[in-house]
């Protein structure tokens, strides 16, 4: 059933004739109506907001049964891949401890356990361990379990935490007395993951979600020990185009209330010890002005795009912030550097920036307070260096301000995530931990490149590439190309131990840093959204063709992968450029974009008009309709496609991929495999367990290797799954 004959000279859509009949969804007339006309959607009936409709659940079950049937011949390979990937994980791993208010906090795993143990030690790392939460115990009885947030009270005696037992990100807020070890019986349901303690150690601010749209609209206050019905409203959001959040300044003096959407933001602040929480507007929100703030001494530090497209850092004395004439440059705007985030310390600032397509860290020394304009100009900014071509640096956990040491993480396509402490005094870095990869992994066995591929409009698209050292650029290798390209989110070239299972089998892996992300600055994002969205899709295709033309991959052996909004990208290239790909993996794909953006009851819709466009406006309606994957399925040959989703997904509802697959089955003209896999106990992020989350990766890899004929004529016995030499320039990393 899943035996794919492999040949470098095969046609553009290699694959079997599907012998078992796939599920066929019934077509039921339904009109999607809006002011610009009416569209027929015969599979709209697959939408069930309650997840209880027998016909819908039966269809999803039939699709899952069909997937299992079609994967039967490669199930052994799928299991081998899962064992191979998880064997690389250190069973009893632990995070690097960080110090906060006299305690050392860390997370560790016990051998064979799926979930983390959160713990701390008082004073020194030699002190007795206090377990804050053991997620393995809390997860008992749940198919899905995730702790999203832990927040310690200022006196370190209470823990507030948010947990999700479904996967829909409708969190439950709970409290634990760290003195007695007792978890309170009362809990607060349907909240966001944001939690902030007041400085009195009794009051907690949280955000209640709207039950229909799942938007966090109501900021409430809960007092420990008080009946939940007495919780009071601190702030009510009325504009559903904004996300609402609560946070605390690093020095714990202020509580911040934030309202942000795609193009604008507004912050408010209140004294964390104020019994009334009298929030003051920092700067009134206005369209096209985004900013964020942090407190430092008697100043506020502001990251702002006011007259600075790529953002700059400014400073203003507390109390004068409403007058932008009082704002002064701290780190000036630069056209070639995008400021993404920052961290404050008493004597320096650390900036997370993007330059030349890569994520880097720069450091801005500060003279001791009081900060003044002259001292800011005289302090030289510098970058932390790297020796690799493609890499990513990120600010790590830095809770203390009175230090001259910066903690950061480093990763590349060949280097596992590594935690360093960088000393500003000595200019030297100290390695604290490199994520272990169990087995005979050696970074020297792999090579990485960072290059630029020309797009059809002459823009140069950054591309990060990794392959085994024995790879030969002779146009014979299989390649997996990945991208996202939306919301200004950048896909960084970071390490994946799971990916070794492809690299060791001769795959090239490439990340196309397409427009719609912010790898090349804010303009890169603007060129990939709204009426420029199609640049995202054509960039991906142009990168594929460039890499094939330059012999990184065989033309007939290119796979594409993307998730969520990246799944939208997969849907578009399947419609517009099916001849360029032999297989596509669409993870939780956002493929019914027009219908979703017309429906304000669907989570996230109203927040995203500045990303996709509001289809109430005819120009956006027409543009969305012109590329929406579901609306543009056509009678043509498609590559083999694996589609994944979660029944409880709150970001991209399960029925989008389900409808897309149903329409593809009824419309496409080929016999290539089309698979829908629905995880009935998970949401947008898939399974929650440390090991179990790799089940879906093993399935995706088995799908691709199956397409390449990894089992055809190369197994000497049912228990011997070996790799064809034509697919492997290096030995397998299987060690179990």
- Measured CA to CA, the distance from residue 271 to residue 185 in angstroms comes to 30
Of the candidates 532, 527, 496, 531, the one whose C-alpha atom is nearest the C-alpha of residue 511 is 496
* Among 649, 677, 679, 688, the one annotated catalytic: 649
* Among 333, 513, 677, 684, the one annotated catalytic: 684
Q: Where are the beta strands (DSSP E) in 491-593?
A: 508-512, 558-563, 583-587
- Measured CA to CA, the distance from residue 516 to residue 586 in angstroms comes to 18
CB distance 478 to 508 below 8 Å: yes
- Measured CA to CA, the distance from residue 388 to residue 245 in angstroms comes to 37
Residue 684 appears among annotated catalytic residues: yes
Residues 6 or more apart whose CB falls under 8 angstroms from that of 473 comprise: 550, 551, 552
* Among 501, 564, 650, 688, the one annotated catalytic: 564
Helix axes 694-707, 75-86, angle to 10 degrees: 130
- Measured CA to CA, the distance from residue 108 to residue 181 in angstroms comes to 19
Residue 714 appears among annotated catalytic residues: no
474 CB-contact burial (10 Å; exposed 0-12 / middle 13-18 / buried 19+): exposed
Pairing of strands 98-100, 103-108: antiparallel
Of the candidates 171, 519, 208, the one whose C-alpha atom is nearest the C-alpha of residue 356 is 519
Residue 617 appears among annotated catalytic residues: no
Please give the DSSP secondary-structure letter assigned to residue 144.
S
Of the candidates 643, 359, 633, 323, the one whose C-alpha atom is nearest the C-alpha of residue 492 is 359
Of the candidates 270, 330, 321, 266, the one whose C-alpha atom is nearest the C-alpha of residue 292 is 266
CB distance 430 to 375 below 8 Å: no
CA atoms within 13 A on the CB side of 469: 8
- Measured CA to CA, the distance from residue 723 to residue 736 in angstroms comes to 16
Residues acting as catalytic residues: 564, 649, 684
């Amino acid at each position: 059933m899943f035996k794919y004959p492999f040949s470098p000279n095969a046609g553009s859509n290699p694959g079997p004739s599907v012998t078992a009949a796939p599920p066929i969804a019934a077509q039921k007339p339904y009109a999607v109506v809006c002011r610009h006309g009416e569209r027929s959607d015969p599979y709209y009936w697959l939408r069930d907001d309650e997840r209880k409709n027998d016909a819908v659940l039966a269809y999803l079950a039939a699709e899952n049964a069909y997937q299992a049937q079609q994967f039967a011949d490669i199930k052994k390979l799928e299991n081998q891949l899962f064992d191979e990937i998880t064997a690389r994980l250190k069973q009893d791993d632990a995070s690097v401890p960080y110090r906060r208010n006299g305690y050392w906090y860390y997370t560790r795993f016990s051998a064979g356990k799926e979930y983390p143990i959160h713990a701390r030690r008082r004073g020194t790392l030699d002190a007795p361990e206090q377990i804050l939460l053991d997620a393995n115990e809390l997860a008992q009885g749940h198919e899905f379990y995730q702790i999203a947030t832990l927040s310690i009270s200022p006196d370190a005696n209470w823990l507030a935490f948010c947990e999700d037992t479904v996967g829909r990100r409708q969190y439950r807020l709970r409290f634990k007395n760290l003195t007695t070890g007792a978890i309170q019986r009362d809990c607060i349901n349907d909240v966001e993951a944001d939690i902030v303690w007041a400085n009195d150690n009794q009051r907690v601010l949280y955000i209640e979600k709207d039950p229909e749209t799942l938007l966090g609209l109501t900021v409430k206050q809960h007092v420990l020990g008080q009946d939940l019905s007495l919780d009071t409203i601190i702030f009510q959001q009325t504009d559903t185009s904004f996300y609402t959040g609560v946070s605390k300044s690093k020095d714990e003096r202020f509580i911040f209330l934030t309202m942000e959407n795609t193009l604008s933001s507004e912050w408010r602040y209140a004294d964390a010890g104020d019994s009334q929480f009298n929030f003051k507007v920092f700067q009134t929100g206005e369209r096209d002005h985004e900013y964020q703030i942090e407190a430092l001494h008697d100043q506020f530090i502001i990251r702002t795009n006011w007259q600075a497209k790529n953002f700059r850092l400014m400073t203003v004395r507390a109390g004068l912030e409403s007058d932008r004439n009082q704002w002064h440059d701290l780190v000036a705007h630069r056209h070639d550097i995008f400021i993404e985030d920052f961290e404050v310390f008493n004597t320096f600032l650390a900036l997370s920036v993007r330059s030349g397509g890569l994520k880097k860290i720069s450091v801005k020394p500060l003279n001791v307070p009081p900060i003044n304009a002259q001292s800011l100009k005289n302090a030289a900014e510098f970058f932390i260096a790297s020796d690799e071509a493609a890499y990513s640096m990120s600010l790590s956990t830095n809770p203390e301000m009175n230090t001259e040491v910066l903690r950061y993480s480093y990763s590349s396509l060949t280097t596992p995530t590594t935690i360093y402490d960088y000393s500003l005094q000595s200019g030297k870095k100290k390695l604290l931990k490199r994520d272990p990869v169990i087995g005979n992994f050696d970074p020297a066995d792999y090579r990485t490149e960072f290059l630029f591929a020309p797009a059809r409009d002459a823009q140069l698209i950054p591309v990060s590439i990794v392959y085994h050292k024995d790879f030969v650029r002779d146009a014979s290798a299989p390649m997996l190309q990945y991208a996202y390209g939306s919301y200004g989110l950048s896909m960084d070239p970071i390490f994946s131990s799971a990916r070794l299972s492809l690299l060791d089998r001769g795959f090239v892996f490439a990340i196309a840093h397409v427009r719609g992300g912010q790898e090349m600055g804010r303009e890169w994002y603007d060129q990939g959204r709204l009426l420029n969205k199609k640049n995202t899709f054509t960039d991906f295709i142009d990168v594929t063709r460039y890499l094939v033309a330059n012999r990184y991959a065989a033309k007939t052996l290119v796979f594409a992968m993307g998730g969520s909004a990246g799944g939208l990208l997969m849907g578009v290239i399947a419609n517009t450029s099916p001849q360029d790909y032999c297989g596509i993996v669409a993870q939780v794909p956002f493929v019914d974009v027009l219908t979703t953006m017309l429906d304000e009851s669907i989570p996230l819709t109203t927040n995203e008009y500045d990303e996709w466009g509001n289809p109430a406006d005819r120009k956006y309606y027409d543009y969305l309709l012109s590329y929406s994957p579901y609306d543009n399925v056509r009678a043509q040959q498609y590559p083999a496609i694996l589609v994944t989703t979660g029944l409880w997904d709150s970001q991209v509802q399960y029925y989008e991929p389900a409808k897309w697959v149903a329409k593809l089955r009824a419309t496409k003209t080929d016999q290539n495999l089309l698979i829908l896999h629905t995880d009935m106990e998970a949401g947008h992020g898939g399974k929650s367990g440390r090991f179990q989350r790799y089940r879906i990766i093993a399935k995706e890899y088995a799908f691709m290797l199956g397409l390449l004929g990894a089992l055809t004529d190369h197994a000497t016995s049912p228990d011997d799954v070996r790799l064809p030499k034509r697919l492997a320039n290096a030995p397998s990393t299987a060690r179990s």
